[in-house]
Amino acid sequence: MAAGLDSVETFRLKGRKIPPEQRLAYETIGGSPHLDQNYTVFGEVITGMEVVDRIAATKTSGREEGDRPLQDIHIIKASLVKRKKT
């Protein structure tokens, strides 16, 4: 993970450094630093993790930069689940 974070700093952040506490979060909790500040998390899987697992197992181009599935994956159905106010 450290080498990947170094690469993000060099190429995407153009030399700006990821703060130590954020690096620690990536290394312990995980995440996708190359997507940060470019994409928004817009949902959470509540049921159907087997679908996520199948997507994750899809064959990809294998390139370090720009790795993509060989076939497009489409979300066919999603539902809005309203959270209870706390």
The whole-chain average pLDDT of the chain stands at 85
Report the pLDDT value the prediction gives residue 14, as an integer from 0 to 100. 85
Query: Which has the closest alpha carbon to 78: 40, 45, 33?
Result: 45
| Bridge partners, 69 (sequence order) | 60
Report the pLDDT value the prediction gives residue 50, as an integer from 0 to 100. 93
**Contact status, residue 1 vs residue 26, Cβ threshold 8 Å:** yes
Tokens 């390139």 belong to: 63
**pLDDT one-digit tens code per residue, 37-78:** 778 777 788 888 999 899 989 999 988 777 889 999 998 888
| Bridge partners, 60 (sequence order) | 69
Report the pLDDT value the prediction gives residue 42, as an integer from 0 to 100. 76
